[in-house]
Amino acid sequence: MLAQYSDLLFMAAVGVYVLAMVLHAAEFAVARSAKPVLVGAGGPDTVERPARGERYARMAVSLTVLGAALHTASIVARGIAAQRWPLGNMYEFTSAICLAAVVGWLVMLRRSPVTRAVGPFVLLPVVVLLFLAGTVLYAQAAPVVPALQSYWLVIHVTTITISSGLLLVPGVASVLFLVRGAGWLTDRLPSSDVLDRLAYRVTIIAFPLFTFAVIAGAIWAEAAWGRFWGWDPKETVAFVSWVIYAAYLHARATAGWRATRAAWINVAGFATVLFNLFFINMVVAGLHSYAGLG
Amino acid sequence: MVTDTPVRATPARTPPPGWTALRNAWRSLTSMRTALVLLFLLALAAMPGALLPQRSLNQRLVDQYFTDYPTLAPLLDRVGAFDVFAAPWFAAIYLLLMTSLIGCVLPRTFDDARALRARPVATPRNLARLPHHGGGTVDAGLDDAAARVRGRLRGWRVAEREEGAGRTLSAEKGYSREVGNLVFHLSLVGLLIGFAAGKLFGYEGQVIVPAGGGEFCNTGILGYDSFRAGTLVDGTDLAPFCVRVDDFTATYLPTGQPDRYDAALGYQTGADLDAGRADEWRSFPLSVNNPLRTDGARVYLLGNGYAPIFTVTFPNGDVRTGDVQWRPVDQATLLSEGATKFEPPGVTDDEQRRTGQLAVTGLLAPTTSGGDVVTSVFPDLRDPEVAIDVLRGDLGLDDGRGQSIFEVDAAQVESGELVRVARENLVPGQSVTLDDGTEIRFDGVRRWVNLQISHDPGQVWVLVFAVTMLAGLAASLGVRRRRFWARLTPSDQPGRTVVELGGLARTDRAGYGEEFDRLRADLLEPDVVKDP
Ligand code: HEM
């Protein structure tokens, strides 16, 4: 019963996100057609948008907030329905990653409104992932196997989820940085500097959290599997992601690597996170095969 | 890691060329660029470990890979692609990286320690040129204004200097960033050493113990079914403790998904045994996320399964019971297979013995489907049934080759030395009688558990360093190293002071602005300033 509500809320959230994207797109279109009258050399944040475009953009953001609220409710309902922490299979896991990405994005937007034009590009992968979660990955709400019955599930998987979700934002910002660097969408996107800073700021929060999550995983593995680290495929790819994000941070402090190359590294980092989530869960068998895809 | 190598005093004499080359090699090894390249290499080198089957995880999948790719596999094998994390090239990368890291971080630490003792740098002439700046006139005399600035800069390292008729204050904050960075990188080294120590001095063994009183004592390698040890472990001084599996219960959801595994364990520590308390047992509830920790070792509940109990009554009236474990072939239903082997009793003649050995092999369903073809429909022990072949003849136990406890030697069957003499489905209590009058009865099923015993003296250090690493990381990413300057000059109007402010973030571009703006507001906007 509650599980059905959870599913309905999930679908509603996806619908609202899609609508928010449509409004963002409408804003783009309006701003585009109105472009000739606009003045301003300092990038889109200093360009006066026509009131209509501005209204669309605000509505898009409000809808994103609404979507996040529905999304949260869906996850909570799922947890109550299954009577456990709602991170027990890939459907739940992917859904929560997307929520973390959206919420992380909204928080950044609040702190730095000039990044608003990044919104649709955060929503796009979120909607795609949620679509996959709701279709291919979907699993009934059910209890989890003995190895997962531990408070470490809450600690490890929640932090992994939040950090993976947060890392989506720098991933998107870095892609946009590269897109902009290639000369596309330069009139629509925030300046390179803003994008670069967005990527960096979120990464330095998500990376320590990811580190914590991996350590928590190791502590759990020591209790559940008999060793804290065994180069299981999921552990190995987590290690690879970790090393790549470490390289990103180092690149940001190395002359000649700061901007474009750092952005590439960040994109590569997020690619390995996605790879770990999908490929390793679905193709490579390992101890982490709790995906519920049976 | 250093961005720009500080230039040290060049030696007066021209150094020998070999020395220069060495120093250059060291410099480039410890440069940030090299560290970056090594990080990429490390990430890249680890990937095959996730994509190709690894011997350390699953030998069977490696063998399968050899069958599937007969030309490619040997090539990959030659470069260690199936043992990535033990490969010399993998070790070379991380050892170089660690060296680079130490060579990079230590000199920088000395520089920082020096900087920590130095006074914050003098105020630049033109503060308006700094990325963050501001200015104004405040209603306060020079001393009051200076006191106000100092008061607002609590927690900063501040140096005050006279400058003409006025005064300057230079302040710096965020030294813990460098400390954090150092702690982070050194922790990585510590972590690696702890990891290596665990691999050298640790061991890991598995053993199957029957539930309902089966015992295992950690006295030597031979007691284990499988044993993996570090290079520096010879197995002669394992911590001698004993465990006894008093009971094992598995609970399942109606779908057959396991819900809980619990083993009631009794154990005796090495100290108990030394003190001669060999008949007292401490109890411990062993379960999947709850290993027993004793004598520097950990005991895990890794798996479980069933052992059918067969009683053989030989024609001469002798009775033998066998309850060796069978292995699950289907994890979802615990359908199991195995071979329970019997020697004819009281036979001294070798030839006779070799033709009279018995093996009961086949399938065991803990919850049978019923019908002629026995399969299991549920993993719990509800309604067991076995489908067995009884083989008689020479099991081949004496030919010196080790033999699997789960199956009979197929070569003996092929050569006709082992012949099938019966095939039956039995439920507990039922029996089958052979042509020579031997009766084989299926009495019931006993559970067994698979225990793993691990010892890793390095892991506590790995944990300690992981925690310090995380703390260091948080400090080095969360703390901003920043400078702040104020130049105070007496205004033309008496009792007022002209204040110029400047700020510079030393480490990254993100996020000094807001803090600076608050400082500026507090110092320049009179209504915001609370009088000290
Ligand atoms: C060395 C230890 C561990 C590491 C490095 C590690 C790493 C990771 C990483 C990186 C993820 C997220 C990957 C992704 O994006 O899909 C993850 C997810 C997960 N981990 Fe771990 N983990 C460890 C131990 C454990 C243990 C001991 C358990 C449970 C017994 C566990 C259960 C899970 C679950 C349930 C998920 C999410 C669900 C899923 O991937 O389908 N992990 N882990």
Residues of A whose CB is below 8 A from B62: none
Which residue from B357, B316, B362, B314 is spatially nearest to B338, judged by alpha carbons? Answer: B362
Domain range for A182 is 2-282
Q: Write the residue with the smallest CA distance to atom 16 of ligand 1.
A: A277
B127-174+480-524 CATH fold: TBP-like (3.30.2030)
Ligand 1 midpoint to CA A160 (Å): 8
Q: For residue B189, is it left (φ>0), alpha (ψ between -120 and 50) or beta?
A: alpha
Residue A253 is predicted with a pLDDT of 83
Best probe of the B interface among A204, A209, A257, A288, by most B CBs < 10 A, is: A204
Contact assessment for residue B442 and residue B308, using Cβ atoms and an 8 Å cutoff: yes
Residue B119 is predicted with a pLDDT of 85
Best probe of the A interface among B288, B304, B465, by most A CBs < 10 A, is: B288
CA dist A108 and A126 (Å) reads: 16
| CB spacing of B39 vs A247 below 8 angstroms | yes
Pocket test for ligand 1, best of A159, A161, A288 (most atoms within 8 A of CB): A288
Percent of chain A residues topping a pLDDT of 70 = 90
Q: Which helix (H) or strand (E) holds B529?
A: none
ipTM: 0.83
Residue A47 is predicted with a pLDDT of 47
Find, in chain B, the residue whose alpha carbon is nearest to that of A218.
B463
| CB spacing of B43 vs A280 below 8 angstroms | no
The pLDDT tens digits of the residues spanning B423-481 come to: 999 999 999 999 989 999 999 999 999 999 999 999 999 999 999 999 999 999 988 88
Residue A248 is predicted with a pLDDT of 96
E-strand ranges in B223-376 read: 226-229, 242-252, 258-268, 282-287, 292-294, 297-313, 319-322, 327-330, 335-342, 357-365
Strands B203-210, B335-342: pairing kind:
unpaired
Q: Is the pLDDT of residue B273 over 50?
A: yes
Q: Is the pLDDT of residue B410 over 90?
A: no
Q: Is the pLDDT of residue B13 over 70?
A: no
Residues with CB under 6 A from ligand 1: A 90, 93, 147-148, 156-157, 160, 164, 214, 217-218, 220-221, 224-225, 229, 234-235, 238, 273, 276-277, 281, 288, 290-291
Q: Of B3-12, B169-178, B193-202, B487-496, which range is least confident?
A: B3-12
Percent of chain B residues topping a pLDDT of 70 = 95
Q: Of A69-73, B247-251, B398-402, which range is least confident?
A: B398-402
Q: Write the residue with the smallest CA distance to atom 1 of ligand 1.
A: A218
Residues of B whose CB is below 8 A from A230: 56-57
Q: Is the pLDDT of residue B180 over 50?
A: yes
CA dist B218 and B235 (Å) reads: 10
Residue B532 is predicted with a pLDDT of 33
Whether A291 is in a domain gets the answer: no
pLDDT confidence band for A39 (50 / 70 / 90): very low
Residues of B whose CB is below 8 A from A244: 39-40, 43
Measured between CA atoms, how close is A239 to chain B, in angstroms?
8
Q: Which atom of ligand 1 is nearest to the CA of A280?
A: 16
| CB spacing of A249 vs B302 below 8 angstroms | no
What is the average pLDDT across B64-92?
A: 93
Residue B190 is predicted with a pLDDT of 95
The pLDDT tens digits of the residues spanning A129-162 come to: 999 999 988 887 777 777 777 888 889 999 999 9
Residues of B whose CB is below 8 A from A212: 470
Find, in chain A, the residue whose alpha carbon is nearest to that of B36.
A247
The pLDDT tens digits of the residues spanning B188-198 come to: 999 999 999 99
Residue A46 is predicted with a pLDDT of 43
> What is the distance in angstroms between the CA of the first residue and the CA of the last residue of chain B?
42
CA dist B518 and B153 (Å) reads: 12
Domains in chain B: boundaries: 21-115, 127-174+480-524, 304-449
Residue B525 is predicted with a pLDDT of 74
Structure tokens at A282: 């679905």
CA dist A103 and B181 (Å) reads: 29
Residue B3 is predicted with a pLDDT of 42
Contact assessment for residue A196 and residue A259, using Cβ atoms and an 8 Å cutoff: yes
Residues of A whose CB is below 8 A from B47: 236-237, 240
Residue A50 is predicted with a pLDDT of 62
Ligand 1 midpoint to CA A274 (Å): 13
CA dist A68 and A62 (Å) reads: 10
pLDDT confidence band for B9 (50 / 70 / 90): very low
What is the average pLDDT across A260-268?
A: 96
Residues with Cβ within 8 Å of residue A74, at least 6 apart in sequence: A6, A7, A8, A9, A10, A12, A13, A95
Structure tokens at A72: 């949260």
Q: Is the pLDDT of residue A286 over 70?
A: no
The pLDDT tens digits of the residues spanning A76-112 come to: 999 999 888 898 888 999 999 999 999 999 999 998 8
Total domains in chain A come to: 1
Q: Of A177-181, A244-248, B52-56, which range is least confident?
A: B52-56
Ligand 1 midpoint to CA B22 (Å): 44
Measured between CA atoms, how close is A94 to chain B, in angstroms?
21
Name the residue among B43, B51, B459 with its Cβ closest to that of A244: B43
Residue B6 is predicted with a pLDDT of 43
What is the average pLDDT across A32-59?
A: 62
Q: Which is higher by pLDDT, B398 or B121?
A: B121
Tell me the pLDDT of chain B averaged across its residues: 88
